Amino acid sequence: MRRWSFCHDPDETCSIDTLHNLLRETLLDEDQPSHLIGHGISGTVACLFAHRYPELVQSLTLLAVDTKIANHWSSHYFQMRRQLPCSRSNVLAHLSSLLISSQHLRAKALFPRLLEKCLDQDFVDGSLLDHQRLSGCLQVPSMPMLVLNAANDIVVDSGSHARWDRLLKPGDRYVEVEQGRHFFPADKFMTAADSITKFITLVPDQWRNFDMQSTNHSSLLGGRS
């Protein structure tokens, strides 16, 4: 398993095309299509990439992703920041308590700072001044897909199950994590890992006959978004 990430200068603009070009350069070096896994906006980027470059993707796993392209935790943050007369730190502290279910004191203290780091360093769609650039609904790509969402997610609401059901192909899977919130991979990691492993193991290999149990060729898109 490989974690894919990117870095850009704070003053440098970044678009979905920039991300796709960087990811494409990475995957072209692989000797076979990859299993893409993405959380949040990284999952949205992965889904758009898989639809654009299906020959590079063997399967797609989306965690905490809605069919609505613009629906991410950062869009909720910007909306709260515009409407509430609160500082950035106060809004992030409140929002973090809604996004993660961990009661560990250290985790609760660190999480708002991680969200702040995401806003400053990761790809974020929109800002306090500009509206989101990404809009519409995701298109389901041709390869097998797993959607893993949480039951108590305030970002990807319970209605996402019905929205995904209208789009998923035969053979695709939708799994709901009980009592999980938006960042459920942080405290429900065993549930997430087990669902992903079972799904990838069952994905038919159309390019090469190799043992999925002993060789894992997954690429993880992003990590915090």
Query: pTM for this one?
Result: 0.83
The predicted model gives 198-223 an average pLDDT of 56
DSSP character for 212? T
Residue 105 resides in a domain: no
In tens, the pLDDT along 124-172 reads: 766 555 555 667 899 999 999 999 999 999 999 989 999 999 999 998 9
In tens, the pLDDT along 159-175 reads: 999 999 999 999 899 99
DSSP character for 213? T
| Cβ pair 67, 151 in contact under 8 A | no
Q: Which two tokens stand for residue 129?
A: 């001044």
Residue 76 resides in a domain: no
CATH number at residue 26: 3.40.50.1820
In the chain, beta strands by DSSP E? 2-4, 34-39, 57-63, 145-150, 173-177, 218-221
Residue 86 resides in a domain: no
pLDDT of residue 44: 94
Q: Number of structural domains, the chain?
A: 1
User: What's at 141, amino acid-wise?
Assistant: P
- Domain limits for position 214: 2-71+131-221
